[in-house]
Amino acid sequence: MSDPLSDLADKDAIVDLLVRLFIGTDNRDWAAVESCFAPTVHFDMSSVGAGPAVDRSPRQIIAAWEEGLRPLEAVHHQAGNHRVTIEGDRATAFCYGVAFHYRRTHSGRNTRTFVGSYDFGLQRSTSVWRIDSFRFNLKFLDGNLELEKEPAA
């Protein structure tokens, strides 16, 4: 039988972990981002054309994000509608997510917006939760789809 107070604390810790992931990404604080992940992550960004799901290390994920975000002046993730299910030392989490990318361009088309949801798998190890499965499900993409390729303003 699960303890409701313990389950509530675990759910809060998991939502906090997801928030730290998004804020760390926005701040390009790669050490903070790395601390959110398990040693191996089943990583799926196929809904945005990133190829099939594959197992990756946190450093591989971060290297790709760092390269992809480098041309942008600002990145902002907003997450909500968190749903967390805990089963022992395993958990799943779902949330809506919106990511805004910003870069000043000559055309004035300075933003791109991703709207979708995330599915996470998490593992508890030594009382700390880490993400071991990550999937983004794109609902729609809007704005300047060529943001990085346009001449900067």
Mean pLDDT by 10 residues, the chain (153 residues): 85 98 98 98 97 97 97 97 96 98 96 98 95 98 94 87
Range of the domain at 22: 4-143
Classify residue 99: in a domain, yes or no.
yes
On whether the CB atoms of residues 122 and 14 are closer than 8 A, the answer is yes
pLDDT of amino acid 153 = 87
153 domain residue, yes or no: no
User: Global pTM?
Assistant: 0.95
pLDDT value of residue 81:
98
Predicted local distance difference test score (pLDDT) of residue 152: 87
Identify whether 9 is part of a domain: yes
Supply the pLDDT for residue 15: 98
CATH number at residue 21: 3.10.450.50
- Asked if residue 34 belongs to a domain, the reply is yes
Number of domains in the chain: 1
- pLDDT number for residue 3: 84
Q: Is residue 55 part of a domain?
A: yes
Residue at 68 is within a domain:
yes
CA distance 145 to 132: 30
